[in-house]
């Protein structure tokens, strides 16, 4: 059985050891387990396009839209984060904790690239040269660039309005937060229910493989 993702097909079959090894070999650019260094580099790229400073809510919206676009094009997110619906729209859950400073930072991670919030803004600590963005593939950068080109001129409130209106996976949490499943996002992106379920299973399988190799 196969499902079609944009202009290419991906086989659906149990993951053999050979497939696991293949996935691991390309994990640097295709992994879906949350990676603080990668999401920090995503933020650094976007801040670099935004002249080095940006409202933190706007940054959160752009990061989510980039992950969503990557799922649309490539059937996986860039950050590997989990998602939740919050009052101001969908959010990358662990990335939100990084912005709040609610977790310990990893080496060469968020704190390496991003300065603390001031007046609801975050700023870039160092220039985001291509060679320094080693956790991001060319496909990742293409997605990030396209998302910034489309949404970068919007302020945070326009982006909140956009995600409320057009990200159908978002549900009003009424002051709380509600998890957003990968399957729900794929459905919102126009996949049929059976196809969305299979794509979500593949994302979860990849997360499990990434965790296995990360523990070795």
Q: What is the pLDDT of residues 135-144, one digit of tens each?
A: 999 999 999 9
Of 112, 131, 163, 135, give the one whose Cα is nearest residue 33.
135
Q: How many CB atoms lie within 10 A of CB 107?
A: 8
Could you tell me if 127 and 207 lie in one domain? no
Q: Which residues contact 32 (CB under 8 A, 6 or more apart)?
A: 76, 77, 80, 203, 206, 207, 210
Q: State how far the Cα of 162 lies from the Cα of 150, in Å rounded to an integer.
A: 12
Tally of structural domains, the chain: 2
Residue-level pLDDT at 213: 63
Domain membership of residue 214 (yes or no) is: yes
Q: Is the pLDDT of residue 35 over 90?
A: no
Q: Are residues 103 and 203 in the same domain?
A: no
* Average pLDDT, integer, range 23-49: 75
Q: How confident is the model at residue 57 (pLDDT cuts 50, 70, 90)?
A: very high
Residue 135 and residue 207 in one domain: no
Question: Domain limits at 116?
Answer: 32-67+81-180
Percent of the chain with pLDDT over 90: 68
Task: Tell whether 109 is covered by a domain.
Answer: yes
Mean pLDDT over all residues of the chain?
85
Are both 209 and 114 inside the same structural domain?
no
CA atoms within 13 A on the CB side of 162: 15
The model's pTM is 0.82
The two three-digit tokens of residue 92, written as one number: 């990358």
% of the chain exceeding 70 in pLDDT:
81
Looking at the predicted structure, is the pLDDT value of residue 87 above 90? yes
pLDDT band at residue 6 under the 50/70/90 scheme = very low
In this prediction, residues 51-64 reach a mean pLDDT of 96
Q: Contact at 8 Å (CB) between 160 and 88? A: yes
Same domain, 162 and 205: no
| 124-131 average pLDDT score | 94
> Cα separation of 118 and 147, whole Å?
25
């Amino acid at each position: 059985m196969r499902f079609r993702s944009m202009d290419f097909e991906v086989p659906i079959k149990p993951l053999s050891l050979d497939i696991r090894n293949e996935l691991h070999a390309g994990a640097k650019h295709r992994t879906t387990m949350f990676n603080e260094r990668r999401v920090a580099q995503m933020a650094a790229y976007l801040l670099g396009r935004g002249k080095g400073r940006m409202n933190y809510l706007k940054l959160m919206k752009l990061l989510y839209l980039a992950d969503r676009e990557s799922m649309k094009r490539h059937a996986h997110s860039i950050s590997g984060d989990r998602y939740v619906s919050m009052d101001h729209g969908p959010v990358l859950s662990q990335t939100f904790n990084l912005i709040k400073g609610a977790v310990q930072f990893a080496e060469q991670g968020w704190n390496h690239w991003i300065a603390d919030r001031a007046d609801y803004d975050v700023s870039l600590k160092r220039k985001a040269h291509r060679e320094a963005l080693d956790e991001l593939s060319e496909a990742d950068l293409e997605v990030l660039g396209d998302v910034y080109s489309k949404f970068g001129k919007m302020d945070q409130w326009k982006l909140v309005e956009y995600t409320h209106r057009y990200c159908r996976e978002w549900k009003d949490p009424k002051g709380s937060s509600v998890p957003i499943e990968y399957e729900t996002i794929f459905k919102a992106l126009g996949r049929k229910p059976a196809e969305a379920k299979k794509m979500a299973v593949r994302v979860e399988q990849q997360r499990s493989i990434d965790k296995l190799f990360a523990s070795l």
